[in-house]
Amino acid sequence: MCQVFAGQDPNSYKYQTRSMRLNGQSTSIRLEATFWDLLEHIARSQGLSVPKFVSTLHEEVLLLHGEVQNFTSLLRCSCIVHLQAGRVENGAGNNAGSGGANAEVQMQAQMPVS
């Protein structure tokens, strides 16, 4: 089991920092490469660029909760929610199912075969 996790390409969990504007303020966000890939997929599915998607998410959280306590954690959790929703929609909630989110399939394709 650990081979699946331990065998990941180190580039997939290397930090990447991107600069963007949130509420008119320039900021930098640091996430692992895999999360940026997932955010690109999510944004594209919404017809948005990553900066526009991230900015919109930030604005919506402010409206709902009045503050954003840990935005990078929110972004990571949003990616996980997206993957979980894809597994449910594709009937892959059980281990026997096929399909799942594209990003999950892409991550598995990068895993070395032992």
- CA dist., res. 31 & res. 70, Å (int): 12
Q: Once rounded to an integer, what is the mean pLDDT over residues 56-73?
A: 95
Which amino acid makes up residue 89? E
Residue 96 has pLDDT above 90, yes or no: no
- CA dist., res. 46 & res. 53, Å (int): 8
Q: Any idea how long the chain is?
A: 114
Distance in Å from the first CA to the final CA of the chain: 12
Domains within the chain, CATH numbers bracketed: 14-86 (1.10.3990.20)
Tell me the per-residue pLDDT of 6-27, one tens digit each, with 9 for 90 and over: 999 999 999 999 999 998 899 9
DSSP conformation letters of 26-42: EEEEEEEHHHHHHHHHH
Q: Once rounded to an integer, what is the mean pLDDT over residues 40-45?
A: 96
Mean pLDDT, the chain, integer: 83
Buried b (16+ CB within 10 A) or exposed e, 44-67: eeeeeebbebbbebbeebeeeeee
Cα distances (angstroms) measured from residue 77 to each of 7, 24, 72, 97, 114: 23, 24, 9, 23, 30
Instruction: Write down the pLDDT at residue 62.
Output: 95
Instruction: Write down the pLDDT at residue 33.
Output: 97
Residue 94 has pLDDT above 50, yes or no: no
Grade residue 109 by pLDDT with cuts at 50, 70 and 90: very low
